[in-house]
Amino acid sequence: MTGPEMHDLVRRLYPLCRSITGPGLRRTLEIIGESIPLEITEVPTGTKVLDWTIPREWTIRDAYIKDATGAKVVDFQDSNLHVVGYSAPVEATMSLGELRGHLHTLPGQPDLVPYRTSYYAETWGFCLSQRTLDGLVDGPYEVRIDSTLADGHLTYGEHVVRGASSQEVLISCHVCHPSLANDNLAGVAVAVALARRLTDPWYTYRFVFAPGTIGAIAWLARNRAHVDRVAHGVTLACAGDSGAITYKRSRRGDAEVDRVFAHVLKDRPHTLLDFSPYGYDERQYCSPGFNLAVGSLTRTPYGGYPEYHTSADDPDFVRPEAMEDTLETLWTAVRVLEANRRYENLSPYGEPQLGTRGLYGSLGGRSDTKQAQMAMLWVLSYSDGSHSLLDIAERSNLPFHALAEAADALRGAGLVKELTG
């Protein structure tokens, strides 16, 4: 998928009213499933998942606030951000004073509508711009939220690309936010694009599209006996803004996936963050009992841009070229993970003669001849069975791809062999 194609997917998904359960979430997964096949899991209300319980399912049909003339001053049909997520049904007439405790604004950003939720405490509310609130008179106001909280299911989807190995790379995206294009949909679009690009990989790649927190917890609870198959992973969000790439390390801090991203980002503007137990679902995958090697890949991270969790995070805020750059960064990391092997030097006593094997001659005319020669020497020197190509890349400060090419050439000449296990 190209940047414009990813952007088209963002625009198509944007109007849907997503939450941690309900029709908008299911419809989102249906649309993703048009691009990549998904296995859908439904977890019933009341199911115990680790220390949590699957809540009732939320369905919303309409909501508004009407003034005394019958005009809608706040209308869910204009933006699904206008209703606090998981609002209980309400139908009442009240004054502005009575209503005010249920209204949420951003005084510092008076033209924007905030995103607010109340998943686990039954209440109701509306979100509106501070400018709209400032223009309201005392009332009375007709207030209506046509919603349902009832026993149902939590839904998540998985797409698996089978590889030669049963060891897995986990790519996880949250799909619970309503109309927020960068914090949610851009990451989804990049994940879909990566899934479509993968062919015949070494690792098995598992893509999880689940509601934030409770969805990842439900997935972990249902896969508790098999999480040891996750060798590497990353949560993907905020993938389409104009900021530089940010990678947050896993709780382990020095996992292979952490080192891979540090290596592929070192020659470009970026930010590397140490793990903290706040953010996206990496905090669930990295919780002490699981301690999976799952980092977080974003551009500007959560809370780091003014449009975050506001109505300004719309499709025009998301840039196709930024999503392309995020995809290529992720793809480069995947290629390093795929090729990071250990080798054994089959001629370890002294430096083998490369010229007689045609290895130096094959480099003639290349603009990177010196780098390629050095890569061969580094691979030979550290192919002792205990150093991976990534180890050698970090020590030599040579690009990983140069060392991978050198290893291939040396293997073809019978000078090294790839180790398995």
Domain boundary, last residue among 288, 310, 338 = 338
Query: 293 and 256 in contact (C-beta within 8 Å)?
Result: yes
Look at residue 49 in the predicted model and tell me its pLDDT. 98
* Same structural domain, 169 and 283: yes
Q: Cβ atoms within 10 A of the Cβ of 225, count?
A: 7
Residue 345 CA to residue 410 CA, distance in Å, equals: 9
Q: pLDDT (tens digit, 0 to 9) for every residue of the chain, 421 residues total?
A: 999 999 999 999 999 999 999 999 999 999 999 999 999 999 999 999 999 999 999 999 999 999 999 999 999 999 999 999 999 999 999 999 999 999 999 999 999 999 999 999 899 999 999 999 999 999 899 999 999 999 999 999 999 999 999 999 999 999 999 999 999 899 999 999 999 999 999 999 999 999 999 999 999 999 999 999 999 999 999 999 999 999 999 999 999 999 999 999 999 999 999 999 999 999 999 999 999 999 999 999 999 999 999 999 999 999 999 999 999 999 999 999 999 999 999 999 999 988 888 887 655 555 677 888 899 999 999 999 999 999 999 999 999 999 999 999 999 999 999 998 6
* Same structural domain, 89 and 45: no
Give the number of domains in the chain. Answer: 3
Residue 230 CA to residue 205 CA, distance in Å, equals: 9
Q: What's the CATH number where 400 sits? A: 1.10.10.10
* Same structural domain, 109 and 251: no
Sign for the CA dihedral angle at 323, 326, 327, 328 comes to positive
> Strand, helix or coil at 144?
strand
* Same structural domain, 267 and 285: yes
Beta-strand runs (E) in 7-140? 39-44, 48-49, 52-53, 57-66, 72-75, 90-94, 103-104, 126-127
* Same structural domain, 159 and 272: yes
Look at residue 366 in the predicted model and tell me its pLDDT. 57
First to last CA, the chain: 34
Label the pairing between strands 168-174 and 103-104.
Answer: unpaired
Q: What's the CATH number where 127 sits? A: 3.50.30.90
* Same structural domain, 313 and 355: no
What does R_g of the chain's alpha carbons equal in angstroms? 26
CA 270, chain centre distance (Å):
17
Residue 262 CA to residue 338 CA, distance in Å, equals: 16
Q: Cβ atoms within 10 A of the Cβ of 217, count?
A: 22
* Same structural domain, 173 and 297: yes
Look at residue 139 in the predicted model and tell me its pLDDT. 81
* Same structural domain, 158 and 128: no
Query: 334 and 340 in contact (C-beta within 8 Å)?
Result: no
Is the bond leading into 269 cis (omega within 30 degrees of zero)? no
* Same structural domain, 44 and 76: no
Q: What's the CATH number where 21 sits? A: 3.40.630.10
Domain boundary, last residue among 309, 338, 367 = 338
* Same structural domain, 264 and 309: yes
Instruction: List % helix, strand, coil for the chain (3-state, nearest 5).
Output: 35, 25, 40
Residue 298 CA to residue 288 CA, distance in Å, equals: 23
CA distances from 356 to 108, 351, 359, 361 (A): 72, 13, 8, 9
Look at residue 358 in the predicted model and tell me its pLDDT. 81
Tokens of 218: 């439900």
The burial of 46, by beta-carbon neighbours within 10 Å (0-12 exposed, 13-18 middle, 19 or more buried), is given as exposed
* Same structural domain, 217 and 358: no
Domain boundary, last residue among 112, 135, 150 = 150
* Same structural domain, 22 and 126: no
Q: Which one-letter amino acid corresponds to residue 209? A: F
Residue 264's domain comprises 3-55+154-338
